[in-house]
């Protein structure tokens, strides 16, 4: 019989890099927005960048900077919203129990304020776009808002997005 070591719980985040160097109160908010894991922001940013280049937009560096800021802010807002909605579930799952809201490091009230702040940045970026892009962006909010609830009824909530 082959014996294996007990399975270890994989941490939700290893808290490395710039986020780990932030003062603790700020670190909790950065972790809540998943600033320590930028892949989600990149996945939101790159389609925007490709759209600009494929559309032949001129003077794109400024627009790209706005898109990057918007991607970081809105991905962060989505993560904060997800953690607010899932706080009770996250507290019962070993992998997510140390997330800032689930662990009590950030209150739900403070998380809502942080969420509104990130959405405010997103709104500033949104107002830089043409009205057609604004409509698409606003339409996507319903899908993002439903995402945490999709986890309760399907094993593939990402397909919803």
Give tens-digit pLDDT for 10-33.
Answer: 566 666 788 889 998 899 999 999
Which pair of tokens denotes residue 153? 């009824």
Question: Residue 34's domain is classified under what CATH number?
Answer: 1.10.357.140
Q: Is residue 2 part of a domain?
A: no
Cα separation, 59 vs 130, in Å, equals: 15
* pTM across the whole model: 0.86
Instruction: Give me the number of domains the chain comprises.
Output: 1
CB 51 within 8 A of CB 92: no
Least confident of 16-20, 117-121, 157-161: 157-161
Tell whether 51 is covered by a domain: yes
Asked whether residue 1 is assigned to any structural domain, the reply reads no
Domain range for 102:
23-146
Is residue 4 in some structural domain? no
In a domain, 151, yes or no: no
Structure tokens given for 145: 């808002």
């Amino acid at each position: 019989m082959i014996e294996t070591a007990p399975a270890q719980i994989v941490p939700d985040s290893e808290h490395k890099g710039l986020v780990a160097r932030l003062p603790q109160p700020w670190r909790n908010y950065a972790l809540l927005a998943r600033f320590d894991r930028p892949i989600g922001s990149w996945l939101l940013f790159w389609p925007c960048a490709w759209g600009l280049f494929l559309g032949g937009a001129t003077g794109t560096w400024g627009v790209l900077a706005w898109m990057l800021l918007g991607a970081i802010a809105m991905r962060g807002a989505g993560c904060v919203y997800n953690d607010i909605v899932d706080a009770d579930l996250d507290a019962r799952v070993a992998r997510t129990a140390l997330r800032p809201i689930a662990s009590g490091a950030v209150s739900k009230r403070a998380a809502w304020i942080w969420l509104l702040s990130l959405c405010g940045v997103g709104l500033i970026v949104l107002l830089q776009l043409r009205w057609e892009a604004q409509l698409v962006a606003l339409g996507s909010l319903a899908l993002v808002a439903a995402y945490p609830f999709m986890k309760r009824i399907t094993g593939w909530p990402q397909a919803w997005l």
